[in-house]
Structure 1
Amino acid sequence: MTLSAETIQQSIDETVEDMQFSVDLWNDGKANPNRMSNLYHSMTRGFSNLARTAAVYGATTDCRDCYGRAAEFTFEKICHHRRLRDRRERIDWEGESRDFYPALNDALLSRNEDLIEEIASEAIAVDEVYLDEFAEDYPDSPANFYDMKAHAALALDDDRATTYVAELRDAIEVTDDPSLYWETIPEFYAAVLDGSTADVEAALADLHDFFVSEAPNPDDPSEYVLDDVAASVVLARRHGLDPMIESDRVPEAVLREEIPADDPTLDIDIDSLQFTSDVGFFELERDDEDRPVIAGRIYHPGGEPVSADDVPEREAGRVLSDGWIEAALDEAEWREHYDDAMVAEAREAYEDGTLQRKLVVVQDRTDGHTFDESLAALPVDDVAMLKGAGR
């Protein structure tokens, strides 16, 4: 199918308009800190649409850039859900394994090695407590879990890939009426591990048919490209294979490794379609003595004590550091979901040294591990751990 320049531009304009609405919500201070995943989802969808449109247009650089930004927003949504496990619907936790799939595929298509490593490493690190939580209620969760693990291990050339593929096969065997995807994906992974180009191409053909059936009417450029198939080609290439896929819906712009000298660009300012917090999620509250408190939330998988090294660095500094607090209070001043009087009181308390700093750790496991002594070196007045995702 040949898509006209008018159709391509219309797709770009509609996507940018939708994305600008989300950006404006953030810039106007109207984004609810507890519901940021809605904005992250909107931005992911927008950048995915722009990436596919760029691929149809033949713009490789813009295509990669937009896939990378889509991956970043999907990963940020995962992280947001983790920090708010106790407040989000249980299905958001169960869906984490499925969210990692497009996040990693978009990262692969971006060719951003740092992003690939970050997302794949986090996917491999997802604890098996996930299966304890969901396997009984959601019969397809084991297959999704081991698909996520195998996918990530192959992206990193991790030795555990073979084990994860075997566990994926076992999980699919007990899945009722498995789709063509479930019948094919372990064969694709195994073919990559075996180094068989012919078997990879055969599996790619079946994956292509599956994803075509999921999007059978590609009249919109933003839906035309089968990016999951393209990402599978890129994944195979990372293992020294060079499979062929003949399909108009897997354009050369998304597959080529070298960027041409005359690479075209989309007529938009991609950098303007962006927002981020320099501090991440935080709350302002009061303690039992009615003193103002700033609480920073982090996620920790469990299995070992939380240490100072587990408290992450944000753009503004490590969570609960002076630089982080100053940036958080600045952000709270223009975001309407924080009470102005509380912000002013917290700032006054920070300036006179009485603002209480609270670290809240959300953890999936319910084991006996808590904190180690290294946390004493951090500027933290109080710590709280929400075991079992705080449920």
Structure 2
Amino acid sequence: MADLLHQIRVLDPAIAADRHCDVRIENGCLVAISDHLDPQPDDRIHAASDWILGPTLTDLYSRAGEPGAEPRETFASLAAAAAAGGFGRVVLLPEGDPWLDQAETLSARSHQFNGVQFDYWAAYSRQGQGEQLSELAELAAAGAIGFGDGQPLANPAFLRQLLLYSHSLDRPLLIWPCDRQLRGKGRARQGSLALRWGLPVDPQSSETAALALLLELLADCLTPIHLMRVSTARSVELIAQAQQRGLPITASVTWLHLLGNTADLTDYDPNLRLAPPLPEPEEQLALQQAVQEGVITAIAVDHSPYLYEEKTVAFGEAPAGAIGLELALPQLWQTLVVEAGWSPLTLWQRLSTGPQQCLGETPRSLELGDRVTVFDPHQTWTVSETSLRSQARNTHLLGQTLVGRVWQPPA
């Protein structure tokens, strides 16, 4: 049975199209689109002029518990959470048991689950230790989308070797600019609010110093890189300058760093213990502007599931990370589109075709047969143990009522 959506707003970021039309979807896929479609006998008809339809979203980096930590998150629960949040593709970091640093390990990982595509960043170093290169050519041949440890790199000589060796492999490198020594045991971004809350500070320079070094090394070999977890205003300046110089660099920021800042730490909620930490308020605005202007190409979820007992500790002792695949789109829409006046097309682009560009892919326009996401920006729902599809519950939004939800066809 198909669903006929009358005069739904269709966003097609690849061609910058934004229009209302009739759409027929079946099993989550686009089967017809026109200014007017006549109902078929088996159609379920929906008045959808207030709804949004676009290509499914792509998340650039997230974690699953499986393999090795299935109580946190399985591939099945991760796929369910992704689908509920409008994500048809999730690129997973190499963490796991075993670590994803060998071709045979990559071949054994799940690549499709309940309609959600899983791709993988293969570790560029053995066990993510940043000391010995993985067999990058073998990993590329086995289907790695790119190379990234998801950890800060401490050794400049290793970083230079990585840039040079991977240059010919036609895969992006995923780099987290962070100097561990400068970061120390910091838990909040340096500023007056961190001092007020009595939290150990992580200076902005822990990110910008690492980024400046990376950009100097990149100028020698021009290997495509993607910067993950950008979180400071100075980083935005450095990235913009590098792009103007023609360096092959893209960048992303997580949804929580766009929507939150140090002022949100007043309750010491361990679910807001993130790495990097939330930005200062003025830097949050700089990040939002960079995303809107395209200096930062994509918004990532960085979904990081943890058990209740792992997160139910003091703020400074909690592991960094929060879940978000089901929560990012409604929160981003409400804050950036409804409240800040962003174009819906801009937000959708940063969550769909923008990530594809970061992966070195050429986005294409919507076609018949494509999986699509339908979003009702007015539906209200409560984040609860029963409404979440993820196995994990580590989010500061638990118990809150959100506006906007991905529409699922009736069973």
Q: Same fold (TM over 0.5)?
A: no
Q: Which has the higher helix share?
A: 1
Name the TM-score, length of structure 2 as normaliser.
0.28
Name the TM-score, length of structure 1 as normaliser.
0.29
Q: Which has the higher strand share?
A: 2
